[in-house]
Structure 1
Amino acid sequence: MEILRVFNNNLVLARDPGGDEVILTGRGLGFQARPGQVVDPARVVRRFVPSDGRDPDHLAELLAGIPPEHIQLVSAALAGAGVAPAASGGSTTLVIALADHVNFALHRQDVGMEVTYPLLAEVTNLYPAEYAQALAVLDALNARLETPLPEGEAVAIALHLVNAGIATGDLSYTYTMTGIIQQMVGVIEQTYGVLLPPTSVSVGRLITHLRYLFVRIHQHAQLHEERSAIGAAIRDSYPHALECAQRLAHVVELRLGAALSDDEVSYLTLHVARVVQECPAP
């Protein structure tokens, strides 16, 4: 492998034989090294392969500022909690982002700075699976720390897991998405006079649909088929749900400045109809 950039004595950006850029760490790996030189494979301890189009140079720069022991700590905690790379949308980005978060959380703890995360209710309701995983990751982290991190950190860890799963690469977008989804659920509840149970299968499907809707919006790749027969049939079959879906589309446009396509509104209509059928008004 050829060295592309040296970040410090222990971290370099390189190009593997297949032409992909990879981040390599190892004691002394970058010491007196220069771009164009061949990597000494005997010194490589960890190899990070950026996924989903993430910028390798940016990830390497972020990684260079994180103590190696915190990378090892997070990797061990994720493994101990059973968070598999396939389930996390690519382990490299998750490990780096979570290690950066843990590094700062430990620093805050050392200086006595307390942080209260305001999204506990939203995260537990909208992302129960990720929150359960986050609690397990936090337990695994604390089992390896002299001074344990507070339970509130599970909220931030859960959001990192959500972010890795939808692969937007932008945690601030995940925060925004979470707030908008909660607002949209509120619109459905107010429209129909119901309380949507988080454990409902249809509600779970709705949340999953919304998560990937936001990914499509983020990637400018909304569902769109001119004069879609399926879309027209859904709209004709569920006129009340269509009105609610149009309100939801208005929320998205106000919050994100993105108008939903007709097909996106149609499939949103179908999900609204399903959740209210499972939770009829009193």
Structure 2
Amino acid sequence: MKLIKALNNNVAFVQNDDKKEQVVMGKGVAFNVKPGNSIDASLVEKRFILDSEGIKKDFDSLLKRISISDIELASNIIKKGEERLGYHCNDIILLTLSDHLSMMLQRAEQGLYFTNPLEWDIKLIYPEEYKFAKNVVADLNEKTGHKIPNQEAAFIALHFINSNFEHSEMQETIMCTKIIQNILNITKLYYGKEFSEENFDVKRFITHIRFFVKRQIQGDRLNMDYSLAETILEKCQKDFKCSKKIAQFLKQTYDWDISQGEMLFLTLHLNRMNMN
């Protein structure tokens, strides 16, 4: 791994053994290393591959408007997030989160904040990501002395959620969150009651529809033992009608054709949730 350019002692552009350019980070990783010389790989704590000309240009553009400290801050948050959430974030998150944190801290100095219309949805549908992001905001407030509101946690959580969806854009992640919320609303209206987000079966249902929506977006198929279909339909008629309403909404709104397997799994989760 050879040094191309040291951005500071802890951040550097390098070329790896496969001739791909990377941004590497680690304490002292570029200290006293000259361009063209090898760096000590044992000092690398985090690396991000710049695997296209577009990403390289985006990173160069980013360096012109934000500080290296913001990039280091984002890298540290990404590292903690991967450890606590069990994620393997895609490399583009370094650019998007660095840019967001830089603008957020600039706004904080001016006392300007934005509300996030998806805050409640993210808190409900992605509780672990939201909880982690709230801790990030609390840490930033302690370190900077700013009063960054919890609304920012929803924005930070979105970056992690998006990075965990392969080949997806932020708009697709936002669309996915809205679809999930619409499914929850249909369910509440159909059964005529609210469901506690702390209930185990409710949490399982939300997790199921998160992956259900992800499968629809990516065009994946769900395999199921259809010999169980008759039994499920006989015992869960009311719940199957709810799953049909959800399928009709998705067909009318997104032109999605929901398979029988998906309908049956959805019915089972609805039944468990409604029994409590």
TM-score category of the 2 structures, normalised to the smaller one: 0.7 to 0.9
Residue type of the alignment partner of 2:176: M
- Give the superposition deviation at 1:256: 3.1
Where does residue 132 of structure 2 map in the other structure?
133
Residue type of the alignment partner of 1:172: Q
Change (3 A) 1:70 1:13: same
- Give the superposition deviation at 1:194: 1.3
Change (3 A) 1:24 1:131: closer
Where does residue 178 of structure 2 map in the other structure?
179
Change (3 A) 1:190 1:59: same
1: CA distance, partners of 2:216 / 2:251: 11
Where does residue 146 of structure 2 map in the other structure?
147
Task: State how many pairs are aligned.
Answer: 263
Write the mapping of 1:1-282 to structure 2, written as runs, cut at 5 A: 1=1, 10=7, 12=13, 14-17=15-18, 22-24=22-24, 40-41=38-39, 47-49=46-48, 58-64=54-60, 65=62, 66-77=66-77, 83-85=81-83, 87-91=85-89, 93=91, 94-110=93-109, 113-167=112-166, 169-224=168-223, 228-278=226-276
- Give the superposition deviation at 1:98: 2.4
Is the CA contact 2:216–2:256 (under 8 Å) kept in the aligned structure 1? yes
2: CA distance, partners of 1:233 / 1:57: 55
1:4-24 superposed Cα distances (whole Å, 9 cap, x missing partner):
xx7x7645474435x877444
Residue type of the alignment partner of 2:73: L
Q: Could you say what secondary structure the match of 1:48 adopts? A: strand
1: CA distance, partners of 2:246 / 2:51: 33
2: CA distance, partners of 1:55 / 1:169: 16
TM-score by length of 1: 0.76
Is the CA contact 1:242–1:269 (under 8 Å) kept in the aligned structure 2? yes
Change (3 A) 1:48 1:57: farther
Query: Gaps (5+ residues) in structure 2?
Result: none
- Give the superposition deviation at 1:265: 1.2
- Give the superposition deviation at 1:105: 1.7
1: CA distance, partners of 2:236 / 2:51: 44
Query: Gaps (5+ residues) in structure 1?
Result: none
Q: Could you say what secondary structure the match of 1:143 adopts? A: helix
Q: Could you say what secondary structure the match of 1:16 adopts? A: coil
- Give the superposition deviation at 1:244: 0.6
- Give the superposition deviation at 1:97: 3.3
Residue type of the alignment partner of 1:195: E
2: CA distance, partners of 1:86 / 1:96: 21
2: CA distance, partners of 1:129 / 1:86: 9
2: CA distance, partners of 1:144 / 1:236: 59
- Give the superposition deviation at 1:72: 1.7
- Give the superposition deviation at 1:92: 5.4
Change (3 A) 1:107 1:276: same
Change (3 A) 1:146 1:15: same
Residue type of the alignment partner of 2:71: I
- Give the superposition deviation at 1:77: 4.4
Change (3 A) 1:136 1:114: closer
TM-score by length of 2: 0.77
2: CA distance, partners of 1:156 / 1:21: 29
* Aligned-pair identity (%): 23
- Give the superposition deviation at 1:237: 2.8
- Give the superposition deviation at 1:28: 9.9
Change (3 A) 1:56 1:224: farther
Is the CA contact 2:205–2:269 (under 8 Å) kept in the aligned structure 1? yes
- The structure with higher relative contact order (CA 8 Å, sep 6+) is 1
2: CA distance, partners of 1:264 / 1:144: 47
Is the CA contact 2:176–2:213 (under 8 Å) kept in the aligned structure 1? yes
- Give the superposition deviation at 1:250: 2.2
Change (3 A) 1:23 1:186: same
Residue type of the alignment partner of 1:237: K
Is the CA contact 2:129–2:161 (under 8 Å) kept in the aligned structure 1? yes
